Amino acid sequence: MHDLPPVARFGGLIATDLRDVTTDPAALDSTGWWAVVAGFEGEVICARFADVRPATPADAPDPRAWHGPAPGHWRSSLDRAAYMDGVRRIRAYIGTGDVYQVNLCRVLSAPLPDPGRSDIDALTAVLALGNPAPYAGTVRLPAHGVEVATASPELYLRRDGRTVESGPIKGTGRTAADLTDKDRAENVMIVDLVRNDLGRVCATGSVTVPALCAVEEHPGLVHLVSTVRGEIDERHAKSAWADLLTATFPPGSVTGAPKGSALRIIDELETAPRGPYCGGVGWVDADRGTGELAVGIRTFWIDRAAADGPELRFGAGAGIIWDSDPAREWAETELKARRLLAVASGELDVNGRTAP
């Protein structure tokens, strides 16, 4: 797949003619239009494209060019028993006062049956049909080992000049009636964390919460979503993106609170690196001082260097607090993964029905 040209797609735009690739986020405060993939473990890939324009129907990839894994071939880095044990261990940490909340995740992977015909851009087209999402996008940089397709519903950072906004999600159910006080408590905890993170870069007193625990509907489920907004302090104006990433990464909704303690527990309990999952995926227009990064959830990526051959990977997780029930948390990860894995494996048609 190294013969496929680099491309990025976000927000109705298509970017081609790759000019630069760097791991230095300071580039995002320079010039040009950049696609960004920030992995959970800290690696950042910034790719500057010279040709960025509204996508036309002729630019659309053919969904039929995607050849995904067989439905029954997905395996999880944590099985049901291991995940439920992880929930119990987190509750024990909460009981001793080490942490308030931890996002516990698992990585699912499956071999690609025809790696030479597995174009991540075509998978983005499949996801757009079977699971449309507000922050959907593609970053395809084959020569740099980056092939990511996201159907993320969650805003990590949006910047317009000095105004910056985040939209943390915490709380998931099949319908609004499934959402509980536990879900709302999760959301409020993470809102406090995001407020604190943004406060490190924003002017004192400028950080507000315009929306708290709003219910958003997405294909097959609902989320509780809050909005946190602030004004970047003048002292960070020339290095806004680099400083924002330093202050807020990884996103609070996929780590926990306090973030440092949560990250230590995640490292202890999870058995596979998250990679682009739970990181940041999106675009930055350095010339205009704008950009939009999604939290890398509902996100697929191809690992062509996997030990057993090229694999498609996907992550799913849940926020664990004192009131968490292990079986319910496992079921939440299943709910989050089920539809997306079915779409990627060709089990659903464009209307979300079981494919013939």
Give the catalytic positions in this structure.
Answer: 154, 170
* Listed residue (294, 293, 289) closest to 29, CA to CA: 289
Residue at 329: amino acid letter? E
Beta bridge partner(s), residue 261:
none
Q: How many residues does the chain have?
A: 356
Interhelix angle 240-248/181-199, rounded to 10 degrees, is 140
Classify residue 120 by its DSSP letter: H
- Find out whether 144 and 224 touch, Cβ atoms under 8 Å: no
Largest CA distance in the chain: 58
Neighbours of 116 (CB within 10 A): 10
- Round to whole Å and give the CA distance between 204 and 199: 7
Token reading at 264:
């230590």
Q: If 0-12 CB within 10 Å is exposed, 13-18 middle and 19+ buried, where does residue 292 land? A: buried
- Round to whole Å and give the CA distance between 98 and 127: 39
